[in-house]
Amino acid sequence: MKVLENKATEAQKNVVIANAATAISVAQDLNLHEGSAIARESLESGEALKSFEKLMHLKPV
């Protein structure tokens, strides 16, 4: 949770960004550098946390 709150160490943040960048790159047919930039922006802007919170509030079907 610290990573999503932007309170993690740089190493922790880099691991999450690398994993997210891989998924983003594959899903959006981007190179890893582009996926990494999107992942970092999402994390640092708080959008990743907002998305996680929305996901947690979804009701099962």
Look up the pTM and report it. Answer: 0.85
Name the average pLDDT for the chain.
95
Does pLDDT of 61 surpass 80?
A: no
Does pLDDT of 60 surpass 90?
A: no
Does pLDDT of 21 surpass 80?
A: yes
pLDDT (mean) for 19-44: 97
Residue 39 has a CB neighbour count (10 Å cut-off) of: 22
pLDDT value for 43: 95
Asked if 44 and 6 count as a contact pair (C-beta separation under 8 A), the reply is yes
